[in-house]
Amino acid sequence: MEQLWMGDSALTANEVRDRLASASAPGRAPATTTVLTVLSRLERKGFVGRSRDTRPHRYSALLSRAEHTAELMHEVLSASSDRDAALARFVGTVSAGEANTLRRLLDDVVRH
């Protein structure tokens, strides 16, 4: 469903439904009420904004896909080892000096 906000300007629930209908197989299009439910749920979670000065209300994405991804990665990469047990990263934070040492080691390995 999300793809729809990523591309375009603000849409009404009906327009969202029409786009979904044309994108999915015939007979599998969701009802407008379903779309509205999903939209309001997304609004509560802070993904979608609603402009109330027109009727029907128009919905738009608050952040682009790339912005969301950047935010997510920032959270993941700055989650230092002793803050939360929520995630496990493959390699933790590495300083510039250490990175150079590793690069030299890597060159040795690759050359062999």
Partner 1 sequence: MIVAAVALGALAFALAWPVPVALSRAEWPARSPATALVLWQGIALGGGLSMIGALLAFGASPAGSLAGAANALLPMAAAGPIPEGFGVVHLAALTLAVGLAVHLALNLATTAVRAERARRRQHRLIDLLASPASESTGARVLAHPVPAAYCVPGLRTATVITDGLVELLDEAELRAVVGHERAHLDQLHHLVLLAFRAWHAALPWFPIANRAERSVAMLTEMLADDAPRRRVGVEPLRTALLRVGSSGASAAYDDSPTASAASDERVLERRLARLEADLHPLDPRARSATWLLATAIVAVPVCVLAAIAA
Q: Closest distance between partner 1 and the C-beta of residue 54, in Å?
A: 26
Structure tokens at 81: 């080892």
By CB under 8 A, is residue 93 in contact with partner 1?
yes
The CB-of-20 to partner 1 minimum distance in angstroms stands at: 16
Per CB under 8 A, does 68 bind partner 1?
Answer: yes
d(CA 56, CA 53): 9
SS3 33: helix
CA dihedral 93, 98, 100, 104 (to 10 degrees): -110
Rule CB under 8 A: which residues touch partner 1? Answer: 2, 45, 47, 65-66, 68-78, 80-82, 84-96, 98-100, 102-103, 105-106, 109-110
